[in-house]
Amino acid sequence: MKAVDRLLFGTAGTPNSAKPRDSITAFKRLNELGLDSMELEYVRGNFPGEQKALEIASAARDNNIRLTAHGPYYINLYSEDPEKLAASRERVIKTAKIGSLSGAESITFHAGFFRGQDSGEVYRWIRNELEGIIHKVRQMNIDVDVRPELTGKPSQFGSLDEIIRLSDEIEGIQPCIDWSHLYARTGVFNTAGEFQSVIDKIRSKLGEQAIKSFHMHITGIIFGLKGEKKHLNLDESDFNYKELLHVLRENGVCGFVICESPSLEDDAIVLKEYYEKI
C-alpha cells in the first residue's frame, strides 16, 4: 500500500448509482460523491484481462480513486483435494496479479474452512500455503499487500488471533480487519473498549506501521450462533460504527475503509461524514 495519512472511504464494488455498471463509470461516480476508494470484486471468479486491467488502473488514477481487490469466494487453502488446493492457490495469485495491474494496492480473500479439524493443524497448513503464495507473488515481481481477511463465521479460518499471528509470522502477510465479521463471529467487539483492544493488539504485535496502513471492511450485519447471516445497512444493524470511528480517529489509524453495506455508497458517505465530524 502506498503511504497514506488519512482514511480512504469507499465501496465494495461498483456503487449502486453508477450507470452503466463499468469500472470507469464507477470511479467517476465515486469521485462525484466525494469518496476516495473502491474494492474491485473478483468474488465470483471473474477477472478482467490484462489490457482491461491497465485501463482500470488509469481510469482510477484519473478520478483520484485508490483501489483494493477482493479474491474469489471459492478459495480453500485447507482443501483435501489437491486439484482444488492448487486452484485455490492460483486464485489468490491471480487476484494479486490482476489486482495489481488494475492499480489495487492491497488484496484480501477468505483463506479457508476448518472442515471440523483441529485449529492448530489448520493454522499450520494455511500458514505453509501462504508462505508459498507470498514467495510466488514476490518471484513474479507483484507489488501488492496480501491480506487474509478476518471472516464472519467460526467455521471459516480467520479469527482475529489467526490473522494477526499469520501477519506476525510471515513476512509480507498483513491483516484485513473486517470489524463487522469480528462482531458476528464472536458476538462481542462492539464497544469502544473492545475496538481499542484490537488496535492495541495489532500495534503491539505488528507495530505502528500496521496502524498506518490498515485495510478494513465495515457494514451493518445480522448474525446468529453460526456467525454472519447477512449484511445490512448501518441504520438497520446494531453494529456500533460510531464508537469504532472514534477509536480509529483517536489512534490515528490510516488506510482503506471499504463499506460492504447493501447501500454501498450511501453508507460509505455516512461513515466518512461521521468520521470527519469527530
State which residue, 46 or 209, has the beta carbon closest to Zn ion: 46
Q: Name the 3-class secondary structure at 11.
A: strand
Which of residues 213 and 219 has its CB atom nearest to Zn ion in the complex?
219
Residue 156 or 213 with smaller CB distance to Zn ion:
156
Cα dihedral sign for 79, 87, 132, 41? negative
Closer residue to Zn ion, CB minimum distance, 149 or 162: 149
Q: Which three cell numbers stand for residue 183?
A: 462482531
Site residues (CB under 5 A) for Zn ion, limited to 234-253:
none
Rounded Cα distance between 78 and 80, Å, is 6
Query: Least separation, in Å, of the C-beta of 92 and Zn ion?
Result: 13
Q: Which stretch binds Zn ion (CB under 5 A): 8-16, 127-135, 144-152, 185-193?
A: 144-152
Per-residue interface string for the shown chain with Zn ion, residues 147-166, x marking contact by CB under 5 A: --x-----------------
Stretch of 50-58, 95-103, 143-151, 265-273 contacting Zn ion, by CB under 5 A? 143-151
Residue 178 vs 265, nearer CB to Zn ion: 178
CB of 44 to Zn ion, least distance (A): 13
Rounded to a whole number of angstroms, the minimum distance from the CB of residue 95 to Zn ion is 12
The count of chain residues that interact with Zn ion, using the rule CB under 5 A, is 1
Judged by beta carbon, residue 30 or residue 258, the one nearer Zn ion is 258
Residue 89 vs 181, nearer CB to Zn ion: 181
What is the nearest approach in angstroms of Zn ion to the Cβ of residue 149? 5
Single out the residue of 256, 211, 267 nearest to residue 103, CA to CA: 256
Interface pattern 39-68 for Zn ion (x via CB under 5 A): ------------------------------
Q: How far is the CB of 167 from Zn ion (least distance, A)?
A: 16
Phi, psi (degrees; rounded to nearest 5) at 81: -90, 115
Query: C-beta of 54: minimal distance to Zn ion in Å?
Result: 25
Distances (CA, A) of 244 to 98, 174, 199: 32, 20, 11
All three cell numbers of 156, joined, read: 471459516
Cβ neighbours of residue 146 closer than 8 Å, sequence gap 6 or more: 92, 96, 107, 130, 133, 134, 137, 172, 173, 174
Q: How many secondary structure helices (H) and strands (E) does the chain include?
A: 10, 10
Task: Determine the residue with CB nearest Zn ion.
Answer: 149
Number of Cβ within 10 Å of residue 101's Cβ equals 20
DSSP secondary structure of 158-211: --HHHHHHHHHHSTTB--BEEHHHHHHHHS---SHHHHHHHHHHHHHHH-HHHH
Please report how close the Cβ of residue 221 comes to Zn ion at its closest, in angstroms: 12
CB 1 within 8 A of CB 106: yes
Which residues of the chain form contacts with Zn ion (CB under 5 A)?
A: 149
